[in-house]
Amino acid sequence: MESCLESGTVTMKNQKILIAEDDDLNRSNLTELLNAEGYEIKAVDNGRKAMDAFVEDKYELVITDLKMPNGDGLELLKFVKDMNPDNIVIMMTGYGTVDSAVEAMKLGAFDYISKPMRNDLVTLTVNRALSYASLQEENVTLRDHLREQYDFGKMLGYSECMKTIFDTIEKVAKSDSTVIIYGESGTGKELVARAIHFNSNRNNFPLIPVNCGAIPEDLLESELFGHEKGAFTGAIRNRLGRFELAQGGSIFLDEIGDMSPALQVKVLRVIQEKQFERIGGVKTINADVRIIAATHQNLELAVTEKRFREDLFYRINVIPIHLPALRERGADIAILANHFLQKFAQSKKKEVTRFTPEAIACMLHYPWPGNVRELENLIEMLVVMKEDGEIKLEDLPSKIRQFKKETQSFKEYQIPEEGIDFNDVVYQFEKNILLKALAKTNGVKNRAAKLLNLNRTTLVEKLKRLNISSES
C-alpha cells in the first residue's frame, strides 16, 4: 500500500462539474462557490448546451436545474444516464417542484438541492456525491489489486516505533475489534485505517470515512444514521447514512473527539448493541460494521474535562495505536524524502536525482510540525522548482535551513568571549555526525558503524544515549 508515512486523505478536488442553470445569478453564485472549493466548472444556461458539453468532455458530476428552456432537467438526467449510468447527477428544485424532484430520484438522480440554496448544504451535497462516486471506483480498484496495493512490504519506515505500528496493524487487521488511532495532524491516521480494513476479512465491503470535525453538527447525525422521508423540512425521501453504507465493512470516524456529546451517546449505542434507527424512523437497523476511530486529541484529558463521555472512551479505546510524529522517527525522514523525490520526479517528468548530504542533514534537524504531509508538500515544491540535478541546502526554505546545526572542525571552531557550554557543544557535534552517517547509509547501523570506524555495539549505545532511532 501507499506508505503509512504518507499523509492523509485522498483529495477530491480538480474534478470537473457541469452546471446547467438558466438563472444568471444562481449560475454565477454556484460557479463561484464550487470554484472556491477547488472544482473545475463548466456552466451553461440550458439543457441542450449541457448535453453538448457532456458529449464533448468528461464530468464527474452534473448539477442541473429542474426547469430550463431547450431541454429541462429531467431530459438532461435521462440523457446523462443513457450515456453513462454511473455518472452522478444532482437536481436543483424550487418551491412547488417536489413531485418532480421525487420523479428525478426515481430516474437515478443522486440527490437534490432546494432553492434558495444554502452554501454549506450545497458544498456538503456536492462533496458527498463525489465522495460516493470515488468510493465506488476506489473499492472496485482496491478489490482487484488488494494483495499488491496493501502489501506491508511496501510501507516505508524502518524506525523501531514504525515497526511496532506495522506489527500492530498486522495483528489487529483480521479481528473485528474496535481500533482508535492517535496522532498529530499529517501523521497518516487514515492510511493506517485503510491498511487495517483492506487487510481484514471485510475487505470485499466498503470502508466509509466520516470526518466528524468537518461536517456541521446539525448535519452529522443525518450523515451517520440517515433519515426517513418527512423526518424534517426538506426530507422528501429516505436517505441512507454512513453506517448503512458501511454494512459488512468498516466505518472510519475521523476526529471523533470533535463529536458532540449528544451524538456520542448514539454512537455508543451502535457499538454496544450493534443497532440504530434513522432520524424519524421506528425500524431498528442492525449494524454489521467494524469501527475504526481516530483523533489528534488526548481523549483521557477530554474525559477528565467532561468533553468526552467516559463510557464511549472505554468502548473505542480497545486497541489504541499511537502514530509517532515525524520528528520522532529519526532516519525515516531521509527515507521518506527520497521516496517522495522519486515519486514527484517521475510524475512531473523532472530529472531531479538526489539530495545533497547537507540538505538531508538539515531536514533531519527540522521539527516538522506538519509531519509527513508537510514533508511531502515540501518535496513536491522542490521538484517543481528544480529542472534537474540535485537538491542542495540552498534550495531549502529559510525556515528549514535555520534549524541546521552547523558542524565545524575543531580547527575552525572559535570560542566566543562569553565562553561555551562544553558538554552541549560536544553533544551537538556528536549527534550531527551520527545523523549524517545514518542519512548516508539510509539508516543501516552496520554500514554507518563502518563509515565511522566504530563497533556496531558502540554505535548502538551512542544512538540510545542521544535518543536517535534508525534501522536495526
Q: Whole domain around residue 53: which residue ranges? A: 16-133
Out of 133, 165, 184, a domain closes at 133
pLDDT for 144 equals: 44
pLDDT for 44 equals: 94
Specify the CATH number for the domain of residue 447: 1.10.8.60
pLDDT digits (tens, 9 = 90+) for 362-378: 888 888 888 999 999 99
Say yes or no to pLDDT of 351 above 70.
yes
Q: Taking residues 165-169, what's their average pLDDT?
A: 89
Contacts of 244 (CB under 8 A, 6+ apart): 226, 285
pLDDT digits (tens, 9 = 90+) for 44-77: 999 989 988 887 788 889 999 988 888 888 889 9
Cβ proximity of 65 and 23 under 8 Å = yes
Angstrom distance (rounded) from CA 181 to CA 464 = 27
Give the global pTM.
0.58
Q: Taking residues 333-359, what's their average pLDDT?
A: 88
pLDDT digits (tens, 9 = 90+) for 207-247: 999 999 888 887 898 889 988 887 777 777 788 889 999 99
Please, which pLDDT band fits residue 121 given cuts at 50, 70 and 90? confident
Cα 221 vs. chain centroid, distance in angstroms? Answer: 22
End-to-end CA distance of the chain: 23
Is 472 a domain residue?
no
Say yes or no to pLDDT of 43 above 60.
yes
Residue 259: CB atoms within 10 Å: 24
pLDDT for 327 equals: 84
Residues 310 and 174 in one domain: yes
Cβ proximity of 150 and 4 under 8 Å = no
Residues 287 and 349 in one domain: no
Specify the CATH number for the domain of residue 246: 3.40.50.300
What's the whole-number average pLDDT of the chain? Answer: 82
Is 10 a domain residue?
no
Out of 304, 324, 344, a domain closes at 324
Is 4 a domain residue?
no
Residues 406 and 418 in one domain: yes
Is 63 a domain residue?
yes
Please, which pLDDT band fits residue 151 given cuts at 50, 70 and 90? very low
pLDDT for 249 equals: 94
Residues 104 and 176 in one domain: no
Task: Choose among 87, 79, 15: nearest CA to 46.
Answer: 79
Is 460 a domain residue?
yes
Residues 299 and 172 in one domain: yes
Residues 308 and 337 in one domain: no
How many domains are contained in the chain?
3
Residues 365 and 427 in one domain: yes
What is the 3-state secondary structure of 125-161?
Answer: HHHHHHHHHHHHHHHHHHHHCHHHHCCHHHCCCCCHH
Say yes or no to pLDDT of 470 above 70.
no
Is 2 a domain residue?
no
Q: Is the model more confident about 346 or about 410?
A: 346
Residues 169 and 283 in one domain: yes
Task: Choose among 150, 181, 131: nearest CA to 11.
Answer: 131
Q: Phi, psi (5° rounding) for residue 194? A: -65, -40
Please report, to the nearest 10 degrees, the dihedral formed by the alpha carbons of residues 423, 424, 430, 432 taken in order.
-170
